[in-house]
A and B are shown apart, each in its own frame.
Chain A
Amino acid sequence: MSATHPQPQITGGAPEKGLGHPRWVRLSHWIVAASVLTLAFSGFVILMAHPRLYWGRVGNELTPALIELPISRNYHHTGFGPATPFFDRPGSPVTAVRTYDIFNQNGWGRSLHFLAGWFLVVTGTLYVLAGLCGGHFRRDLVPRAGELAPRLLWRDLADHARFRIQAAAGGPPYGLLQKASYCVVVFIALPLMLITGLAMAPAVTAAYPFLADVFGGSQSARTVHFFVFASLVLFLLVHVLMVILSGFGRQMRAMTLGSKS
């Protein structure tokens, strides 16, 4: 790397000794990474079968959508026979025969989604237990009280915005925004994905209806599931960008081989 390279500015210089990540963190990181990528891919395939999002309990091609996504040939298809009302009254709900051969790969798509989901749930549960018991969360992930001063937060934001990225140690200690984003992913986004996913399952909501109720219905849960997915994709892009900007080789070594000090 040329020293005259203008941007990004890597500040602080490479640390002498990277602490690296413990083996259980490295192992769970890559299992979670593979599971999340598989879930995102299969989830997208599932969404392509019905690229319409709704709010509430009910939503289908004969009811209005909140958002329609142009991601498969099913987008705005009009392949329906004449609508027949269920009741003899104005404004009655209707039925109609679908005459359009929709894109639908949910046979393998759904099974792959849940298979990856199992890997994520099992690994994630063990990771959270280990992180809680071993002090990793308290020590490395949760911002300390003093760190939460608006001034520090603002400075970290401004530094990121100017691409002034601290050279990575290849492991903790983490920056303030880094801690915040990992905490949001681990403690909010991924659990929310699991809960909104289960809120769409008829056998699960039969036993635990509040899972769907807290979102206002299973279609609302599906919509939240989609937006949290979109946020996680955004996180993934920024995460990979930051790994590159803060020293790709050192970061990858720390998360694969661990650091030799």
Chain B
Amino acid sequence: MKDPQLLITRRSLITGLASAGGLLLAGCSEQGPPTYGNVLRMGDLLTYRAQRLLLPRHALVREYDRRDISSMPATGTANPGDSKEEAFSATHGPVFEQLHAGGFADYRLSIEGLVSRPGSYSLEDLKRFPARTQITKHTCEEGWTAIAEWTGVPLRRVLEAAGVQPQARFVNFHAFDEDADGIDMLDALHPQTILAYGMNGRDIPLSHGAPLRLRVETQLGYKSMKFLRRIVVTDRFDDMGKLGPLQNGWAWYVGI
């Protein structure tokens, strides 16, 4: 017996699955995070595409009051200059140690890749840009949250000063520890994505990423990389090899 309701339902099921598949395929034809044929990475890619498709662009995360500032643990690398750290870099760790000893006076952030004016910026250079201060909630993938005040320069300002080329699609970050990661242009140009040098009204403490950390407020905490060293603007996706999240089994986009 043919139940007409059954037909409608089956059709809608196929349509639904096909559109979900289409969302994934769109991900494959454009350049985006690779899946390596791994079903977990395909799910991550679907989440990324769906959030980019469905969520309004550049919605601002809530900003809080000074009295909302909370305690906040320092997790991950606490000091990239300490050779006992799990993510100690033999190349960049000793350099960091020296910079730290000199109060970061010789610190330079390098900006490279698809920019018309590649160069390096001292902390003083960065502080000459109009600053942005925001009191926001940090959401760690572990499950905890904390509210802190962050002061820095919007990444957008620095990218504009460096002259980002129109074909740029990703901004990648390298840190003084063994950490490298990236974000897409949408998050990079988000008004609350800042290169922070201040926390709770002072210089960022060492354990929270001195002298300069990224704040990507629309994603989980691990995207807000500490101890920034180098920024590279690219037009193709770079999984950052062994230092990046993907090859270590972590999602690249974590808006959820």
8 Å CB interface, B15-34 against A: 16-17, 20
With A60-B73, A114-B47, A207-B55 as known contacts, state yes or no: A126 contacts B9, CB within 8 Å.
yes
Interface centre among B16, B43, B56, B220 (most CB of A within 10 A): B43
Bound complex: CA A185 to CA B40 (Å): 27
Q: Does B39 contact A (CB under 8 A)?
A: yes
8 Å CB interface, A184-218 against B: 197-198, 200-207, 209, 218
List chain A residues, Cβ under 8 A from B105.
none
B143 contacts A46, CB within 8 Å? yes
Of A52, A118, A122, A200, the contact of B139 (CB 8 Å cutoff): A200
Task: Label chain A's interface by main secondary structure.
Answer: helix
List chain B residues, Cβ under 8 A from A104.
142
List chain A residues, Cβ under 8 A from B42.
115
B43 contacts A202, CB within 8 Å? no
Of B40, B46, B62, the contact of A108 (CB 8 Å cutoff): B40
8 Å CB interface, A13-38 against B: 22-24, 27
With A95-B205, A108-B40, A198-B256 as known contacts, state yes or no: A47 contacts B72, CB within 8 Å.
no
Q: Does B213 contact A (CB under 8 A)?
A: no
A57 contacts B137, CB within 8 Å? yes
Q: What distance in Å separates the Cβ of A2 from its nearest Cβ neighbour in chain B?
A: 39
Q: Does B91 contact A (CB under 8 A)?
A: no
Q: What distance in Å separates the Cβ of B74 from its nearest Cβ neighbour in chain A?
A: 5
Q: What distance in Å separates the Cβ of A245 from its nearest Cβ neighbour in chain B?
A: 31
Q: Does A250 contact B (CB under 8 A)?
A: no
With A22-B6, A111-B41, A202-B219 as known contacts, state yes or no: A58 contacts B60, CB within 8 Å.
no
A98 contacts B137, CB within 8 Å? no
B147 contacts A58, CB within 8 Å? yes
Q: Does A110 contact B (CB under 8 A)?
A: yes
**Chain A interface residue bracket vs B:** 35 or more
List chain B residues, Cβ under 8 A from A129.
12
List chain B residues, Cβ under 8 A from A46.
143
Bound complex: CA A49 to CA B42 (Å): 24
With A23-B6, A86-B200, A115-B39 as known contacts, state yes or no: A97 contacts B16, CB within 8 Å.
no
A49 contacts B69, CB within 8 Å? no
**Residue ID in chain A nearest B69 by CB atoms:** A93
List chain A residues, Cβ under 8 A from B10.
24
Q: Does B250 contact A (CB under 8 A)?
A: yes
List chain B residues, Cβ under 8 A from A106.
141-142
B137 contacts A218, CB within 8 Å? yes
Q: Does B167 contact A (CB under 8 A)?
A: no
Q: What distance in Å separates the Cβ of B238 from its nearest Cβ neighbour in chain A?
A: 19
List chain B residues, Cβ under 8 A from A122.
16-17, 20
List chain B residues, Cβ under 8 A from A149.
none
Of A57, A81, A95, A222, the contact of B208 (CB 8 Å cutoff): A95
List chain A residues, Cβ under 8 A from B6.
22-24
Q: What distance in Å separates the Cβ of A33 from its nearest Cβ neighbour in chain B?
A: 17
List chain A residues, Cβ under 8 A from B73.
60-62, 80, 95-98
Bound complex: CA A95 to CA B78 (Å): 12
With A22-B6, A24-B10, A203-B219 as known contacts, state yes or no: A62 contacts B139, CB within 8 Å.
no
Of A58, A87, A134, A204, the contact of B145 (CB 8 Å cutoff): A58
With A96-B73, A111-B251, A118-B47 as known contacts, state yes or no: A218 contacts B3, CB within 8 Å.
no
B144 contacts A61, CB within 8 Å? yes
List chain A residues, Cβ under 8 A from B61.
202, 205-206
B71 contacts A203, CB within 8 Å? no
With A24-B10, A108-B40, A134-B9 as known contacts, state yes or no: A118 contacts B20, CB within 8 Å.
yes
* 18 interchain pairs, CB-CB under 8 A: A22-B3, A46-B143, A50-B143, A58-B137, A58-B145, A60-B72, A61-B73, A63-B71, A87-B201, A93-B70, A93-B72, A104-B142, A111-B40, A112-B43, A126-B12, A203-B219, A206-B55, A206-B60
